[in-house]
């Protein structure tokens, strides 16, 4: 990775079957362009299968969540050590669907991020506002509050994060934040990073997520402080995901 290399991570969410997972992973691995870091964050049951398909290729393996606990009596949870054993490099933490549907607090998200780093994983920490919060002019306050527990973990840990801005109102809705809206929030996140960890702030990659498509990706990736994307629906189609990866590579150049 260089400072100019963008990251495109696909979040399959709760989609997939065994045949589909293998075919999609193989197609993405075969077509991934140079000049971009790519990752697939897949459901837990497919980690081994997708990991095998990505072995020795240019695409990294990722998971969609982890426990903040190391091990123990936590039925249904998956530890960072387990993910690392399967070859994961990335793990998503704090996705809005986890925050809303599983009542995950920002403090718990920070604990998960810390656990991921302790296990040798790179956490992709998600932040974002609802439509009501945006229309109420609360966007930057919401983002700041979500980031505060994570940034308080210290510069050494912050240096190992990826942060993804995903406006909740744009996830799976077909709506995408304008480049200006995305740049404003990314700029605010970078400013917050410089305030708490100035020595590493410019190296932390900031991703945009929220209905990114091949046709919107070039404009978004050209925006200041937008270092790639966290891709949902388009990651389930190899051609679309690879087109987004090519847009990221072209923007980096």
Q: Residues with catalytic annotation? A: 95, 166
Q: Which 3 state secondary structure label does DSSP give 152?
A: coil
Measured over the CA atoms of residue 156, residue 159, residue 161 and residue 163, the dihedral's sign is positive
Q: Which 3 state secondary structure label does DSSP give 36?
A: strand
Q: How many CB atoms lie within 10 A of CB 9?
A: 25
The DSSP code sequence of 160-196 is: T-EEEE--GGGSSSS----HHHHHHHHHHHHHHHHHH
Q: Cα–Cα distance between 2 and 15 in angstroms, integer?
A: 32
Task: Tell how far CA 211 is from the center of its chain.
Answer: 13
Convert 33-66 to b/e letters by CB count within 10 Å (16 or more is b): bebbbbbbbbeeebbebbbebbeeebbbbbbbbb
Q: Cα–Cα distance between 235 and 102 in angstroms, integer?
A: 24
Measured in Å, how far apart are the chain's first and last C-alpha atoms? Answer: 14
């Amino acid at each position: 990775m260089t400072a100019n290399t963008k990251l495109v991570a696909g979040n399959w969410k709760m989609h997939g079957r065994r045949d589909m997972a293998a075919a999609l992973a193989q197609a993405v691995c075969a077509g991934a362009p140079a000049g971009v870091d790519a990752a697939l964050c897949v459901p837990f049951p497919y980690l081994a299968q997708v990991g095998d398909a990505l072995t020795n290729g240019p695409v990294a393996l990722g998971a969609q969540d982890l426990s903040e606990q190391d091990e123990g009596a936590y039925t249904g949870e998956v530890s960072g050590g387990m993910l690392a054993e399967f070859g994961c490099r990335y793990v998503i933490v704090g996705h809005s669907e986890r925050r809303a549907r599983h009542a995950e607090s920002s403090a718990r998200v920070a604990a998960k991020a810390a656990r991921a780093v302790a296990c040798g994983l790179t956490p992709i920490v998600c932040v974002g506002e609802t439509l009501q919060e945006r229309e109420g002019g609360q966007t930057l306050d919401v983002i700041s509050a979500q980031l505060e527990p994570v940034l308080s973990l210290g510069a050494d840990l912050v240096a190992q994060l990826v942060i993804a801005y995903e406006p909740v109102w744009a996830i799976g809705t077909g709506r995408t934040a304008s480049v200006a809206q995305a740049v404003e929030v990314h700029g605010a996140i970078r400013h917050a990073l410089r305030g708490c960890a100035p020595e590493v702030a410019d190296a932390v990659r900031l991703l945009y997520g929220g209905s990114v498509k091949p046709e919107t990706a070039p404009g978004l990736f050209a925006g200041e402080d937008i270092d790639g994307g966290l891709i949902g629906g388009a990651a389930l189609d190899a051609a679309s995901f690879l087109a987004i990866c090519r847009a990221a590579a072209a923007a980096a150049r």
